[in-house]
Amino acid sequence: MGIPLTRQLTAFVYAIFTGALLGVLYDCVRVSRVIFSLASYTRGGRKLYAHPLPLIGAVRRMPFSERRGLLQSVLIAIGDVLFAFVAGCVFSVFLYHAASGCFRWFYLFACAVGFFAYYFTLGKAVMLSSEMLSFLLIAAVRYLLFLLMLPFRFLVYLSKHLFRLVSRFILVPILQAGRRRRRIFYTRRIRSALAEDILRLLDVQN
């Protein structure tokens, strides 16, 4: 027994919305990668990190974002595998409810249309927003750390200047006085030694 045309059309539209739902789920995976700096998906998001901010300079991501290493590739692959598993389950549930378990190629095509329609429209806006939020979060943490470290930096700056003043007006004069005393002591020893040698020569001549 065949499926009525109206039900097939309804299932076709249902498949488009299912693909869009899978696009939303995939964006959840991509947003998690952006948050942990595993990947960057928009050019505008990458440009945010190129401009230095006042007081803190350029905001740097985690090391994963610059160079793809083995751990990063493994984490991305795990995310893709988990999404593929969830997408297969969602599509199977769709076939069971909307098409009575009967597979038609245009259902898969409609699902792909819904997925890529979301991916290239709302998906781009979502990823740009997520990268901007990630940038703002990282920048806020950097500013917070800057404010927390500001008293310690002031103490380090003050201690450096105090050390310079102490060394200039106390340590340096003490060292110079010690050198002068050593020079005077060595001069006196040389003079006494020369006087003894002269006295010995005079005694030998007499």
Distance CA 88, CA 8 (A): 20
Distance CA 66, CA 3 (A): 52
pLDDT score recorded for residue 82: 94
In sequence order, the 6+-apart residues with CB closer than 8 A to the CB of 49 are 58, 59, 60, 61, 135
Q: Do the Cβ atoms of 101 and 5 come closer than 8 Å?
A: no
Q: Do the Cβ atoms of 131 and 48 come closer than 8 Å?
A: yes
For residue 55, CA distances in Å to 63, 134, 146, 155, 157 come to: 22, 19, 8, 18, 16
How does residue 25 score in pLDDT terms, banded at 50, 70 and 90?
very high
pTM of the model: 0.63
Percent of the chain with pLDDT over 90: 20
94-136 per-position pLDDT tens digit: 888 877 777 788 888 999 999 999 999 999 888 888 888 888 8
Percent of the chain with pLDDT over 70: 90
Q: Do the Cβ atoms of 35 and 64 come closer than 8 Å?
A: no
pLDDT score recorded for residue 105: 85
Burial of residue 113, with CB atoms counted within 10 A of its CB: 0-12 exposed, 13-18 middle, 19 or more buried: middle
Element (H or E) spanning 90, and its range? helix 70-98
How does residue 2 score in pLDDT terms, banded at 50, 70 and 90?
low
Q: Is 121 in a helix, a strand, or coil?
A: coil
How does residue 66 score in pLDDT terms, banded at 50, 70 and 90?
very low
Q: For residue 54, which amino acid is it?
A: P
3-state percent helix, strand, coil for the chain, nearest multiple of 5: 80, 0, 15
